[in-house]
Structure 1
Amino acid sequence: MRVAILGGTGDIGEGLALRWAYHTSHDVVIGSRDAQRARSKADEYETELASRGDETAIEGAENPEAAAEADVVVAAVPAYHLVDTIEAVAKGLDAETVLVSPAVGMQRDESGMHYNRPGAGSVTALAAEAAPDEVPVVGAFHNLAADELANLDVELSLDALLVGDDEDAVERVEVLAEGIDGVRALRAGSIDNAAEAESLTPLLINLAMHNDDLQDVGVRFV
């Protein structure tokens, strides 16, 4: 598969890009609003892989160009940039493209992080509203610790929760998720269930804030 990671210069985008490039044979392209920044980050990721004897090539392009030829488009951007990002690439998406949203709406106060549920019901639902009608949307990778994901020396043991209304799209993202060594994909139902999956993320951040041995905490269900 060809996977475009919009916002692939950020934390979660970096981790997904490195893991897919290192663990799978999928073609990875980094998207950004700035094509030069995307290419520079792609070069950095290639250098990291090369230091491990892996000569996998990673492309970099402006978001619309990155999305236009992809089988799966991961909108790895903050929730407040999600709609603008999807609208910017919408012309390059079609019924054969799966759009993935790992974004979570959060707000912070003196007590810690809290889930900020949008009017659409969840950030995944917000992505589905912004996407063209024929484009299937899957919510995934909300609860993965970005630092742990991006450190290829770390052996992962994490679950990735998937929510979506299109069975074929969910299956495609399941294959992507489980292509990463140590990640298990678990289906959590339709997009109507996305808020429950997304709301785990602020809880995990609060755990990391208050427990020194849980700095890169994720979830694993047994």
Structure 2
Amino acid sequence: MRIALCGGTGDIGEGLALRWARDSPHEVIIGSRDPERARTKAAEYEEELASRGVEVSINGFANEMAADRADVVVLSVPAYHLADTIEAIADRIDSDTTLVSPAVGMKRDDAGFHYNRPSGGSVVELAANAAPDDVPVIGAFHNLAAGTLANLDVTFELDTIVLGDDADAKGIVMSLAADIDGLRALDGGGIANAAEVEGITPLLINIAMNNEELHDLGVVFR
């Protein structure tokens, strides 16, 4: 399976790229608005994995080229770039493509981070509204610490909640999540439930900021 990470040069994109490239047989493609940056980061990811005895090929392209013919496109961009990124790749995706949104809208003040719920209900719902009508949108990977994902020295046992209204697309993303060692995918229902999941992320960040021993905090359901 071909996984394109649009915005794959950022924190969450880096972590997912490294983990999938190391733990699964899937082809990983890095996308960016700047294709040269995408190629540079892809080479850095290859070098990091090679230093750990994992020889894989990771290519970098502009977001549009990365998304072209991808089976799954992860929109690993901030919430405020989500609609623009989808618009840029819209003519490169179709009903056979699954879009994945891990973005969370947040704002920060002196007290800490707070969930900035979009007027559309959630960031996943914003993505669904911006995507072509026949392209399924799935929410996943919201509550994972990017630093934990990107640090391959860290072994974890964490859960990620997967949300979507298309059962087949949701199943694909749950399977991809389970391909990452130590990550369990849980079905959170439809995307109407996404706000509840996204809202956990600022809570985790605030706890991590105020408790040094919980720097790479995640969620496990028992």
TM-score by length of 1: 0.99
| Counterpart for residue 188 of structure 1 | 188
How far did residue 34 of structure 1 move?
A: 0.7
1:138 aligns with 2:122: no
User: Following the alignment from structure 2 to structure 1, what is the Cα–Cα distance between the partners of residues 149 and 59?
Assistant: 20
SS at the partner of 1:134?
A: coil
Which runs of no fewer than 5 residues in structure 1 stay unpaired?
none
CA deviation map 1:62-98 (0-9, x unaligned)? 0000001100000000000000000000001100000
User: Following the alignment from structure 1 to structure 2, what is the Cα–Cα distance between the partners of residues 61 and 142?
Assistant: 25
1:176 aligns with 2:176: yes
| Counterpart for residue 75 of structure 2 | 75
Runs of 4+ in 1 over 4 A off after TM superposition: none
**What amino acid is the match of 2:192?**
D
How far did residue 45 of structure 1 move?
A: 0.1
* Root mean square deviation of aligned Cα: 0.4
Identity of aligned residues (%): 65
| Counterpart for residue 105 of structure 2 | 105
**What amino acid is the match of 2:100?**
V
User: Following the alignment from structure 1 to structure 2, what is the Cα–Cα distance between the partners of residues 88 and 30?
Assistant: 15
| Counterpart for residue 198 of structure 2 | 198
User: Following the alignment from structure 1 to structure 2, what is the Cα–Cα distance between the partners of residues 46 and 68?
Assistant: 21
| Counterpart for residue 5 of structure 1 | 5
**What amino acid is the match of 2:94?**
D
| Counterpart for residue 220 of structure 2 | 220
| Counterpart for residue 23 of structure 2 | 23
CA deviation map 1:28-64 (0-9, x unaligned)? 0000001110000000000000001111110100000
Q: How many aligned residue pairs are there?
A: 222
**What amino acid is the match of 2:143?**
N
CA deviation map 1:85-137 (0-9, x unaligned)? 00000001100000000000000011110000001100000000000000000
| Counterpart for residue 114 of structure 1 | 114
**What amino acid is the match of 1:151?**
N
| Counterpart for residue 61 of structure 1 | 61
